[in-house]
């Protein structure tokens, strides 16, 4: 039994990147396109997921920029390749929001802070957080969605998550079963 809603017109899907769209590299970062690998079944189910939502937004914390491990331009190239491949498979990403700050302290753009979602709503005023789904694989992803009144979906991994999402799945591709 789940608390997952009936998705219809006007719904927005918010997606974390690492561990949701691509395989997460624990204790490291995706620093080049060749290290980016889509999660199991995502490209095969992209059309079904993409067609269910009016808008799809990626919200990702990438402190590798603040650490100097990757330049913003190189991250943009990775994201462009990601968006291109997903679009070819039938899932169009409307925008990618990135928090590049260190996670220490309370940086305003990093999840679980709501800033990236507020920026998305400013860019796309039709977004209604009560008709939005946040899919992530960490506590901060679930907290981000809950703070904004979104439905939350946890992609389970070896990450220890204490938050209680509305739905738990093994891979983003499995979301298609609920659409």
Count CB atoms within 10 A of the CB of residue 145. 30
Cis amide linkage into residue 112, ω under 30° from 0? yes
Q: Which residue has the tokens 């995502």?
A: 42
Q: Which of 170, 164, 134, 163 is nearest to 151 (CA)?
A: 134
Q: Which of 15, 38, 19 is nearest to 29 (CA)?
A: 19
Element (H, E) at 65: none
Catalytic residue positions, numbered:
16, 18
Count CB atoms within 10 A of the CB of residue 41. 14
The whole-angstrom separation of Cα 112 and Cα 144 is 4
């Amino acid at each position: 039994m789940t608390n997952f809603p009936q998705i219809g017109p006007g719904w927005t899907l918010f997606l974390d990147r690492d561990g949701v769209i691509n395989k997460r590299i624990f204790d490291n970062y995706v620093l080049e396109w060749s290290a980016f690998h889509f999660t199991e079944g995502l490209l095969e189910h992209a059309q079904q997921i993409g067609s269910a939502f009016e808008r799809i937004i990626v919200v990702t914390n990438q402190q590798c920029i603040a650490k100097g491990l990757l330049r913003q331009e190189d991250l943009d190239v990775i994201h462009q390749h990601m968006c291109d491949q997903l679009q070819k498979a039938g899932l169009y990403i409307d925008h990618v929001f990135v928090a590049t700050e260190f996670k220490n302290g309370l940086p305003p753009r990093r999840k679980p802070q709501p800033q990236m979602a507020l920026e998305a709503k400013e860019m796309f005023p039709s977004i209604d957080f009560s008709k939005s789904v946040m899919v992530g694989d960490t506590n901060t992803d679930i907290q981000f969605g809950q703070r904004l009144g979104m439905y939350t979906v946890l992609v389970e991994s070896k990450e220890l998550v204490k938050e209680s999402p509305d739905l738990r799945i093994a891979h983003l591709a499995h979301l298609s079963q609920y659409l």
